[in-house]
Structure 1
Amino acid sequence: MNPEHRHGPGCDHDAEDRPIGWWLKQVDRLIEESFDRLLAGEGIGRRHWQALNAVAGGADTPAALDAALAPFRAAGPPPAVILDQLVSRGWVQNAAGRITVTPAGSAARGRLIVAIRDHRTRITEGVGEAEYRTTVATLRRMSRNLS
C-alpha cells in the first residue's frame, strides 16, 4: 500500500486494489439490500427481523427492545415504530408493557430463520471458516483501534 496515495475522486484503483473502507461500505450496502429483498416476501425489512429476534431472545420491554436495536439506530424506522408494526402484523403483543412473540410471530420467525440461514450461507460461499474468523477478528481489532 502506497502511503502517498490519496483515495477519492480520480482514484485509479482497480477493483482488486480498493481500500478496506470501500469494501466495508460495499459489503454493508449489499447485505442490507439483499436482506431487504429476502424479507420483502414477508412484508418486512431487516429491522423488523432484528426486533422479532430480539423479542424472541428476551427483549420483553420497549426499553429492552430499544437497547437491543441501538446498534442499528441509524438505519430504518425507530424501534417504537418497528414495535407498532410488528404488533399490527400480529407477530408480537405488547400487554402491560411486556412484549412477547405471538404464535403467528413464532411461525413467521421459524420460516425466516431457514431463509436467513440459507442466505448467510450464500453470502459466505467460497469463504473458508478460517478466512471468515480471521476477517471478523481483523475487523474487531480495527474497530477497537478506532474506539
Structure 2
Amino acid sequence: MGGLGKTTLAQSVYNGDERVETHFNVRAWACVSEETDNAKITKGIIESATRRACQLDELEPLQGELKEQLDGKKFLIVLDDVWNEKRGDWEQLRRPFQFGERGSRVIVTARLEKVSAYHLGCLENEYCWSILKQQATVEDVRIREH
C-alpha cells in the first residue's frame, strides 16, 4: 500500500545523519516506480552518485561505468518505489553492486511483497513519531507529543 512511509523512512536513513554520509563513499538515490529498463535505472544511479549527467545510454557501458564508480568503495544505494517483480531484471541490475566494499548496502522500497527480500514489520510508535517530527517542516505548526 502506498502512503505508509516507506520512502520517508528511507529518506531519513539516507539524509538523516552525517554518520551515514561519512560511512559510505558513494551514495545514490534512484526513483524506480514502474520503470523496467535497467539502462535507465542504472543511468539514474550513476547520475545520482556522481551528481552529473551521464552521456551513456546502453546497458553494458552503463554497468561498466557504475562498476567503476562502486569498485572498492562502500556504497549506499536506495531504489525507491520498485514495482518490477522479474527476478532476471534484478539479477542483471545488481551485477555492478558486487564490486563494492564489504558493508555496502542497497535499500529497496516497494509496495509489492514479491519484490522485497526483507519484510519490515511495523515500527513502534516512538520511531514513527520521531520520523514524523523530522519530516514536519510546516512553520507555525506545533507538534505535541501525546
TM bracket (short chain) = 0.3 to 0.5
Q: Which has the higher strand share?
A: 2
Which of the two has greater helix per residue? 1
TM normalised by structure 1 equals 0.32
**How does the TM-score come out when normalised to structure 2?**
0.32
Larger radius of gyration: 1
